[in-house]
Structure 1
Amino acid sequence: MPFPSSAAEEAVAAELATVRPALGPAYAAALSGARAAVLTRLWRALAFEPLPWVVGREAAPDGLALLLADGRRLEGPPPDPYATRPYVDELLLDGRSHRRAGQLVRALGVPHGEEFAAELDASTASLALSRAGQPPAAGDRPARAAWEWEQRVVDGHPYHPNCRSRPGFSVAEELAYAPEHRPVVELGLVPVRAEECLVTGDWPERLRDGGGRILLPVHPWQAAHVLKHERVRTGFAAHPLMALRTLAPVDGGPHVKTALSARLTSSVRDISAYSIETAAVLSAFLQGLADRLDGRLHITRTVGAVTAYSPDLAAVLREPPELYADAAAGERVLPVAALASWPPARSAAWQARFARLALSVCLRLLELGVALEAHGQNLLVVLSPDGAPLRLVYRDLADIRISPARLRANGLPVPPLSGRLVTDDVAVLRRKLFGSLLTGALGATAGSAAAFAEVLSEAAALPATADTAALLEGRLPTKALTLMRLSPEVTGDQWAELSNPLAGG
């Protein structure tokens, strides 16, 4: 007997029948796997995050049991905090089977659960849609362009249950704008008088109209839903990248980060005036600091940034990462999140070599005074013609952390910055890096707790520092993504701690 669909799944099927009927059978076939993928991510969160209504955890005959505040018991298989392949297709709440993440959250009856359950249903349906549109064996064929590697990240965030939740997007819009569907997106241009804008860096002449106005690139979803097409001119074609709101122009040149005021995964994304104000100084500072790392790290420079003093109308132009790969020599650059679709990265030897590079570079930068948010989207790796990891590229500086005290201790100049980017709190600095690089990028690349333990062991050979000791001996931080979605009244990040395979706990 077929498992009943959620309302979100049925709604996507109905719209798909109108806008792309040929995808209907593939979508229906993908639903079972999408449900297991989202349920697996949810089980990770329930098993490890400090959720206030989970009052105890104990071994069960076939895995783990969660003891709930209302006296009920939720049981599932042994949880793997680094699993990237679905392994959960059923959870038992007081003996009753639940196979859909949204259905389970509704049954739990926790605060803010109804909103979260709707997002989980949407994430499941959207993930099935994403998988349905993939050509056979696409990951086994070499990509011709850097943006193609980005578009092979089909399943979204490796650990967030809302891995493909895109509220406000219709099926037609997902097919038209989402990178995994491989569209070409027509960006619009909004003319704004220069005196009404904050501009940092060098804004190119091709994005000025000669009449003293800035031509500000806007995403078509933003134009339709937020700007209501007001003043939007025809712009240029671009390929959407992993971030969806960042695109690579078809004709080449800087990548364009657009304002797209929609909730993607966890939060509403926009471009703040603060990030525009700090863009040029931050870019120059990080570029100088990266020069101290013997060519092992490149920072994609911010070419120009502009805001019309509105988070809904702003854009950033950024160097494309492929500038730092020698294409003539056969080098290529991949975002770390795309390594799952690149077969050589599945070998233990390759992962160990990559881990040595990533750990040595990022921990050295942390020692100097900068914590990168080095997750699989921001961190890229340059590969030799035979696939060896050579060096790293980092993009999007909007959420790094800078420690003036560490910079001064290393005899380095402190950039003229203030606000949320600046902190000397050691816990904040380590959480920023460890939670993105260790329990994010490296964990997802490894794909399981056992493989991650081998990858993490590469840190033992690094120079002994207080940060390295914390990595080797302490529990490892990870963002409590589900707790954050269920705590809308709490601002900022919330954290969970995972056992450290090197520390034995």
Structure 2
Amino acid sequence: MYHSPTAEDGLAEELAAARPALLPRYRAELPGARAAVLTRLWRGLTHEPLPWVADRLEGAHGLTLRLADGRRLHGPHADPYATGAYVTDVRLDQERHDDPARLMTDLAVPHASAFAAELAGSAASLALSRAGADHPKEWPERDWEWEQRVVDGHPFHPNCRSRPGFSAADQLAYGPEHRPSVELATVPVPAAECLVSGDWPAELRDADGLLVPVHPWQAAHVLKRPCDPWRSAHPLMSLRTLALPGGPHVKTALSARLTSSVRDISPYSVEASAALTSLATDLATRTDGLLHVTRTLAAVTARSPDLAALLRESPETYTAPGERVLPVAALATTDLPDSPAWLAAFTRLALTVGLRLLELGVALEAHGQNLLVILSADGIPLRLVYRDLADIRISPARLARHGIAPPALTGRLITDDESALRRKLFGSLVAGALADTAGSGPALGAALASAVPDLPDTPDVKALCEDPLPAKALSLMRLSPHTPGDQWTYLPNPLS
């Protein structure tokens, strides 16, 4: 059976040079990593509006996709909310496939070859992440230690661990799951060439202008210029954001493609950061203390998305003694979601906060990386913390309805489209963070059913209960490289 030798063997060769002791464990993790990526890909094939899938036929022994060219692809029944690697193989006509990259290559649909390469890299990098993961069972004390426990990346994206351009040595040096300490650098830029929002700290100024924090990978591979050493930091889940010991989080311009797109810090994001922080912190005060928003303290761009940085409060700012704050994505590394009562309480808290802000006029991008939960010493979910306001959606009409002055912003963040607002929140929170925490459609449905009776009777809640659930069409987006922006699918409502 073919197993993507280019990606897997290439990473093995690099690993043999960078950390040979890890090589046997890496090879042992490859089959499980392929299954994890194949499970995510099967979710996309079975639930996204792919133009070359003519029909989907449920049977007693699984699901069959009838392709437009007459071929048939057969696999297990697909739970769009399941997070375990339950798909070990599928059959394209009579040929068995256990490798997602080979499957996509043999499907030979438009843009399949590029996606196949990404899938191969995702599986290889995931095997490396799992090989290097050896975390203690005790709960961490620091927020960044929780982020290191999230080994598998995005719970539903086939490119869950895709890191093109990162060698094995790069991944070991910069991937949070490998628990490194990363040496940030700075680049001096004349003040006249910079756009600044907030109070840029004295530590990052010199006589000639501003010092912009830079990730070492960005310095070596994109900027390709000398940088001055600055401070050590701990990488967070997003890879490009790092926690300074005793200080804020630093979001760097790491221009690398991770899951779907190349992330950067645009001048638009820098210019909007102060207004977004002001609006979000104001709205958080209207949640009866259930939500905190980490403030952007300062932001700078040298008029380029390749050289920019944001300084943001640590979520630990909002914890009391004995409490812990962790990304929702890290909840799966605990045994808390195994309790239906705990899951129902957490779901009620998350929906109460998310729907309250939506009613006021802001749809959060509340996936498991942006949304954090504050737990008591015995694990009770107390409050939420939200970070990274760069991709929320703001409704001026809803804000005005509640007597709130809309921020002086234009562009992609602003919309009064009800469907777009609900897609943003429901797709990230319900089909994302809550589904990942629940681990399956039945568990998610039970948690939602327990929480909904306590929610206010609003059109948004009615849509949540009755309509199909929006989710980003993650595989379709990778197979549609010339279609800008997000594309969506609609999943069976777990409350039905």
TM-score, normalised on structure 1? 0.97
1:406-455 deviations in Å (ceiling 9; x for gaps): 01111111111111111000000000000000000000000011101111
Partner of 2:477: 484
Amino acid at match of 1:357: L
Partner of 1:195: 192
Matches within 5 A, 1:310-325: 310-325=304-319
Whether the 8 Å CA contact 2:4–2:99 is kept in 1: the answer is no
Partner of 2:324: 332
Partner of 1:26: 25
Deviation at 1:260, TM superposition (A): 0.6
1:21-68 deviations in Å (ceiling 9; x for gaps): 000111011011001100000000000000000010011341100010
Partner of 1:368: 360
Partner of 2:422: 430
Whether the 8 Å CA contact 1:185–1:240 is kept in 2: the answer is yes
Q: 1:369 to 1:139 in 2, by over 3 A?
A: farther
Q: 1:4 to 1:471 in 2, by over 3 A?
A: closer
Matches within 5 A, 1:158-169: 158-169=155-166
Partner of 1:474: 467
| Alignment partner of 1:214 is 2:210 | yes
Give secondary structure in 2 for the equivalent of 1:366: helix
Task: Please point out which of 274, 292, 298 is paired with 1:298.
Answer: 292
Whether the 8 Å CA contact 2:265–2:308 is kept in 1: the answer is yes
Task: Please point out which of 264, 269, 284 is paired with 2:263.
Answer: 269
Deviation at 1:363, TM superposition (A): 0.2
For 1:331 and 1:287, locate their aligned partners in 2 and report how far apart those are by CA, in whole Å.
Answer: 21
Partner of 2:47: 48
Partner of 1:81: 80
Partner of 1:387: 379
Partner of 2:114: 115
For 1:34 and 1:3, locate their aligned partners in 2 and report how far apart those are by CA, in whole Å.
Answer: 15
Q: 1:428 to 1:139 in 2, by over 3 A?
A: farther
For 2:124 and 2:274, locate their aligned partners in 1 and report how far apart those are by CA, in whole Å.
Answer: 40
Give secondary structure in 2 for the equivalent of 1:306: strand
Partner of 1:258: 252
Partner of 2:97: 98
Whether the 8 Å CA contact 1:335–1:381 is kept in 2: the answer is yes
Whether the 8 Å CA contact 1:249–1:255 is kept in 2: the answer is yes
1:295-328 deviations in Å (ceiling 9; x for gaps): 10000000000000000000000000011111x2
Give secondary structure in 2 for the equivalent of 1:267: coil
Task: Please point out which of 273, 279, 286 is paired with 2:273.
Answer: 279
For 1:92 and 1:231, locate their aligned partners in 2 and report how far apart those are by CA, in whole Å.
Answer: 51
For 1:486 and 1:199, locate their aligned partners in 2 and report how far apart those are by CA, in whole Å.
Answer: 37
Amino acid at match of 1:174: Q
Deviation at 1:3, TM superposition (A): 6.7
For 2:190 and 2:210, locate their aligned partners in 1 and report how far apart those are by CA, in whole Å.
Answer: 6
Matches within 5 A, 1:142-181: 142-181=139-178
Matches within 5 A, 1:408-447: 408-447=400-439
Give secondary structure in 1 for the equivalent of 2:286: helix
1:327-363 deviations in Å (ceiling 9; x for gaps): x2x0010100000112223211111100000001110
Whether the 8 Å CA contact 2:194–2:302 is kept in 1: the answer is yes
For 1:116 and 1:4, locate their aligned partners in 2 and report how far apart those are by CA, in whole Å.
Answer: 15
For 2:96 and 2:357, locate their aligned partners in 1 and report how far apart those are by CA, in whole Å.
Answer: 48
Matches within 5 A, 1:349-364: 349-364=341-356
Partner of 1:7: 6
Whether the 8 Å CA contact 2:3–2:99 is kept in 1: the answer is no
Whether the 8 Å CA contact 1:369–1:402 is kept in 2: the answer is yes
Deviation at 1:501, TM superposition (A): 2.5
1:463-485 deviations in Å (ceiling 9; x for gaps): 10000000001000000000000
Deviation at 1:212, TM superposition (A): 3.5
Whether the 8 Å CA contact 2:38–2:99 is kept in 1: the answer is yes
| Alignment partner of 1:245 is 2:236 | no
Give aligned pairs, total: 495
Whether the 8 Å CA contact 1:194–1:213 is kept in 2: the answer is yes
Task: Please point out which of 402, 414, 418 is paired with 2:394.
Answer: 402
Whether the 8 Å CA contact 2:35–2:87 is kept in 1: the answer is yes
Amino acid at match of 2:383: R
Whether the 8 Å CA contact 2:141–2:324 is kept in 1: the answer is no
For 2:459 and 2:429, locate their aligned partners in 1 and report how far apart those are by CA, in whole Å.
Answer: 17
Amino acid at match of 2:153: G
Deviation at 1:219, TM superposition (A): 0.3
1:169-188 deviations in Å (ceiling 9; x for gaps): 11100000011111000011
For 1:132 and 1:418, locate their aligned partners in 2 and report how far apart those are by CA, in whole Å.
Answer: 45
Partner of 2:493: 500
Whether the 8 Å CA contact 2:4–2:120 is kept in 1: the answer is no
Question: Cα RMSD (Å) of the superposition?
Answer: 1.0
Amino acid at match of 1:143: P
For 2:391 and 2:277, locate their aligned partners in 1 and report how far apart those are by CA, in whole Å.
Answer: 12
Amino acid at match of 1:454: A
Amino acid at match of 1:245: R
Partner of 2:458: 465
Give secondary structure in 2 for the equivalent of 1:143: coil
Give secondary structure in 2 for the equivalent of 1:192: strand
1:346-390 deviations in Å (ceiling 9; x for gaps): 211111100000001110110010000000000000011111000
For 2:3 and 2:435, locate their aligned partners in 1 and report how far apart those are by CA, in whole Å.
Answer: 34
Amino acid at match of 1:477: P
Whether the 8 Å CA contact 1:139–1:152 is kept in 2: the answer is no
Give secondary structure in 1 for the equivalent of 2:484: coil
Task: Point out where structure 2 has 5 or more consecutive residues left out of the alignment.
Answer: none
Give the 4+ runs in structure 1 shifted more than 3 A: 2-5
Amino acid at match of 2:36: A
| Alignment partner of 1:455 is 2:451 | no
For 2:338 and 2:132, locate their aligned partners in 1 and report how far apart those are by CA, in whole Å.
Answer: 24
Whether the 8 Å CA contact 2:365–2:424 is kept in 1: the answer is yes
Whether the 8 Å CA contact 1:140–1:343 is kept in 2: the answer is no
Whether the 8 Å CA contact 1:340–1:346 is kept in 2: the answer is no
For 2:465 and 2:56, locate their aligned partners in 1 and report how far apart those are by CA, in whole Å.
Answer: 25
Task: Point out where structure 1 has 5 or more consecutive residues left out of the alignment.
Answer: none
Deviation at 1:460, TM superposition (A): 3.2
Whether the 8 Å CA contact 2:336–2:343 is kept in 1: the answer is no
1:257-288 deviations in Å (ceiling 9; x for gaps): 00011101100011000000000111011101
